[in-house]
Amino acid sequence: MASVRFQGVSKIFQKDILALAKFDLEVRDGEFLVLVGPSGCGKSTTLRILAGLEEPSTGDVFIDERNVTDIKPQDRDIAMVFQNYALYPHMTVYDNMAFSLKMKKMSVDKIDRNVKETAEILGMSDYLQRKPKELSGGQRQRVALGRAIVRHPAVFLFDEPLSNLDAKLRVQMRNELSQLHTKLKSTMIYVTHDQAEAMTLGDRIVVLKDGYIQQIATPLDLYDNPDNSFVAGFIGSPSMNFLNIELEKGVIHAGDTVLQNTPYEGIPDGEYLFGIRPEDIRPSEGSLLSGEVEVVETLGNENIIYLKFNGRQFAARCGPRVKAVPGKTFGFSMDFGRSHLFTSDGIKMRVNKN
Ligand SMILES: Nc1ncnc2c1ncn2[C@@H]1O[C@H](COP(=O)(O)OP(=O)(O)OP(=O)(O)O)[C@@H](O)[C@H]1O
Ligand SMILES: [Mg+2]
C-alpha cells in the first residue's frame, strides 16, 4: 500500500515534443485513479515515468514520501499490466505467475503460496497447469493480472489492459477489476481512452488533453460539473450537445431561436457555448423548439434520437416508446437547470442554477 505524488513533472521528447506539461498530482493510498484522454495525450508517458521506464524532463516522483525519481524500475515496488501482456507461451499459468518471484529468488514455498493465493483470488486455481494457448482471452488477461498480483506491489499500474478483449468481456473484466480493488485495497492507477471505463472504475478521474491536465474529480462531479467544454464533451455517451449562443439579458439567441426563462440572468451579455446532455432533452409536442430527425437508435431500453438543430446535431435520450421518424419534425424541451455554459474558449461559467 502506498500513496504516489507527482511534483512539477513534465516530459518533452526530442527537444520539442511536449508529451506532458508540468503537473502535480497526488494519488491516495488505496485509491483507484484513472487517467483518461484521447490518443497521444500523455497517459502512457505518465505511467512510464512512475514505473521508471521514462525519465521526467522536470520534477520528481514520490512513492510514500520516498523520492523515487532516480530509483531503478525494479526497485520501485510497482507492477504494470499492459495492453499487450505477452504471456510466456511455453510456460504453464503457474510458471507465468511464478516467474518474477523466481527472479527475485523467493523461496519455493513462498512462491507456491503466493501463486496459489493469487490464482484463488482470480478464480484460476483449476487452470494452473494449462498453457496460455489453452485459455480464453479473459482467462489470459487474468493470468496477466496474476503476474502483477503475486508480487504484492505497493502500486499497480494498468495501461489499457482490456483493449484486446471483445466488448462483453471488457465489461466483465472491468467488473472483476473493481472487485479486485475492493479485495486488495491497493493503490491502482489505470489508463484508458474509454470514458465509460473511466467512469465505472475510478474513485477519481484525471482527464488529460495534449499533455495538460484538464480536470481531476470524482466520476459524478466530472459528469455534472465539467470545468471546460473538452471535459464536458469527452465524458458521457452520447456526448453533450453544444450550441453557439448569444446571451442578452439572460435570454438565449441561437440563430432564429430565442429561449426565455433561462437560469442565466446576471451573466454578462456576449457569445457563449451552451451545453446540454442528451438525457436533459425531453420530447415535447408543439414546443417552440424542434429539429428534423436524422437517425433513431433503438436500444430496447431507450431510444437515442439524433436531430438537426440550428446547424448542429443534437442527441436526445428518450424512453423506448417515444416515436420519432427520420425526416420528420421532433419537438422537444430542455431542462435548463441542468444545462452548462462555457465561454467561447470553452471555460466553464459559474451559474447559479435555479
Ligand atoms: N519515445 C518517444 N519519442 C517521441 N515522442 C514520444 C515518445 N513517446 C511518446 N511520444 C509522444 O508523446 C505524446 C504522448 O504519448 P503517450 O504515449 O503518453 O500517449 P497516450 O495518451 O498513452 O496515447 P494512446 O492512447 O495512443 O496510448 C504523443 O504525442 C507521442 O507521440
Ligand atoms: Mg498509451
CATH number of 4-232: 3.40.50.300
CA of 159 to the centre of ligand 2 (A): 7
pTM value > 0.85: yes
pLDDT of residue 318: 96
Cα–Cα distances in Å, from 217 out to 44, 188, 228, 233, 346?
20, 16, 13, 16, 18
> pLDDT (tens digit, 9 = 90+) per residue, 117-168?
999 988 899 999 999 999 988 899 889 989 999 999 999 999 998 888 888 8
- Tell the residue nearest (CA) to atom 16 of ligand 1: 42
- Topology given in CATH for the domain delimited by 238-343: OB fold (Dihydrolipoamide Acetyltransferase, E2P) (2.40.50)
Q: Which residues, in sequence order, are CB contacts of 220 under 8 Å at separation 6+?
A: none
CA of 231 to the centre of ligand 1 (A): 20
Mutate to test the pocket of ligand 1, among 45, 54, 208, 234 (most ligand atoms within 8 A of CB): 45
pLDDT of residue 353: 54
In short, whether 13's Cβ falls inside 6 Å of ligand 1 is yes
pLDDT of residue 163: 85
- Given a cut of 50, the residues of the chain with pLDDT beneath it are 354
CA of 35 to the centre of ligand 1 (A): 14
Q: Pairing state of beta strands 32-36 and 187-192?
A: parallel
> pLDDT (tens digit, 9 = 90+) per residue, 83-99?
777 899 999 999 999 99
Q: Where are the domains of the chain?
A: 4-232, 238-343
